[in-house]
């Protein structure tokens, strides 16, 4: 039995209805939110190949905080 995740937590917004391309290209979305949404979509087989590539293209230009290294490694 898998429960449906809540649309919002205290730590991160889950942007289920927002196209991932919009999430990647929105500079106001935190890296934690971006990576968490990417991981959720990967785990649920909802991240397309071009979105995955775009995510890593964006991440090459970002300075990843140490506290997000584990999350990034999971993606």
pTM for the predicted model, two decimal places: 0.79
Residues 16 and 8 sit within 8 Å (Cβ to Cβ): no
**Higher-scoring residue by pLDDT: 14, 21:** 21
- Res 5 pLDDT > 80: no
**Structure confidence at residue 34 (pLDDT):** 94
- Res 8 pLDDT > 50: no
pLDDT band at 28 (very low <50, low <70, confident <90, very high): very high
- State both tokens at 14: 């889950």
**Structure confidence at residue 4 (pLDDT):** 59
């Amino acid at each position: 039995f898998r429960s449906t995740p809540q649309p919002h937590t205290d730590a991160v917004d889950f942007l289920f209805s927002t196209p991932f391309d919009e999430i990647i290209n929105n500079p106001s979305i935190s890296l934690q939110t971006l990576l968490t949404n990417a991981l959720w979509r990967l785990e649920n087989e909802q991240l397309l190949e071009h979105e995955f590539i775009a995510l890593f293209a964006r991440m090459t230009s970002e300075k990843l905080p140490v506290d997000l290294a584990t999350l990034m490694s999971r993606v």
